[in-house]
């Protein structure tokens, strides 16, 4: 077995014995790997914090040619995933890790997918420098609404890379133009919007608002549009519901973390009696 170096995102860890663990890594060079890290959880382990969940690290792996676990011999921390007090950012990072695991096969290199995921994790765990805050010792978390927009942008980018991008401009069935209107048919099994003719007889079709579709188009087509969005609560919730339902049909199961990204319902105002 030859030792090979790779840049990796830690997407999952499992205990193996008292001090070792099995690590699921998504590497830029080799795709998804499962490796045994012997002694990783010893107090003075050479792996240190490099194998923390969602960390980015440089690893050296002894890859096996026929099945079984690879052997992780070294890991050097490059970037630790830290989100402060932002539960939305934590859920966003965990959702990205789940998609890396579910959308890819073992040993299938996807450098662009790695870059998209790494960029999102960097943004989610970034903090404004203390000297720019008031008071100076405060920490600034990414607002939950922007986290959801960033996650939706990332989902659409990842789906495009793996060849599962939803049709948002033309009919997913006939590639014809989509008529305007307040509500547009979106086929979950067909993978996108449907024209009036193709919508007939289809299953798993929902009617989404024109504002929801416009938001999805914007997030799919622009790298930085998510930074400028301030979505109304109704549209924010509808966009997340559409993405969660679409991913459930694509993966054949309901994503575990995606429902946690749904914006909380706003309490109804109490009317005076």
Instruction: Write down the pLDDT at residue 127.
Output: 52
Return d(Cα 15, Cα 13) in angstroms, integer: 7
Residue ranges and CATH numbers for the domains of the chain are: 3-79 (2.40.50.140), 166-265 (no CATH)
Residue 223, judged by CB atoms within 10 A of its CB (0-12, 13-18, 19+), counts as: exposed
Closest CA to 255 of 245, 242, 267: 245
Residue whose C-alpha is closest to residue 53's, from 114, 14, 12: 12
With CA atoms as reference, report the closest residue to 100 among 37, 28, 38: 28
Nearest residue to 205 via CA among 172, 253, 239? 172
d(CA 138, CA 155): 31
Total H helices, total E strands in the chain = 6, 8
Distance CA(6)–CA(273), nearest Å, equals 66
Gap between the terminal Cα atoms of the chain: 77
pLDDT of residue 44: 75
CA distance 163 to 113: 12
Model confidence pLDDT, tens digit, residues 173-201: 999 999 888 999 999 999 999 999 999 99
Spans of the chain below 70 pLDDT: 1, 127-140, 265-273
59 sits in which H/E element: strand 56-62
């Amino acid at each position: 077995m030859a030792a090979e170096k790779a840049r990796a995102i830690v997407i999952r860890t499992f205990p193996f014995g008292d001090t070792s663990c099995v690590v699921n890594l998504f590497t830029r060079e080799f795709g998804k790997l499962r490796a045994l890290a012997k002694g990783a959880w010893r107090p003075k382990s050479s792996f240190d914090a490099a194998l923390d969940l969602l960390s980015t690290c440089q690893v050296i792996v002894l890859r096996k040619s026929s099945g079984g676990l690879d052997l992780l011999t070294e890991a050097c921390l490059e970037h630790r995933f830290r989100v402060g007090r932002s539960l939305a950012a934590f859920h966003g990072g965990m959702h990205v890790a789940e998609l890396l695991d579910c959308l890819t096969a073992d040993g299938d290199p996807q450098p662009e997918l790695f870059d998209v995921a790494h960029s999102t994790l960097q943004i989610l765990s970034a903090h404004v420098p203390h000297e720019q805050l008031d008071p100076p010792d405060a920490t600034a978390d990414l607002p939950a609404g922007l986290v959801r927009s960033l996650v939706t942008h990332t989902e659409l980018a990842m789906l495009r890379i793996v060849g599962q991008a939803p049709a948002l401009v033309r009919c997913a069935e006939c590639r014809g133009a989509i008529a305007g209107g307040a509500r547009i048919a979106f086929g979950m099994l067909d993978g996108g919007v449907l024209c009036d003719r193709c919508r007939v007889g289809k299953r798993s079709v929902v009617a989404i608002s024109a504002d929801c579709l416009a938001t999805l188009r914007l997030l799919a087509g622009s790298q930085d549009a998510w930074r400028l969005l301030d979505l109304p609560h109704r549209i924010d919730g509808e966009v997340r519901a559409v993405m969660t339902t679409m991913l459930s049909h694509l993966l054949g199961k309901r994503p575990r973390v995606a429902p946690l990204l749904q914006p909380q319902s706003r309490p109804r105002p109490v009317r005076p009696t």
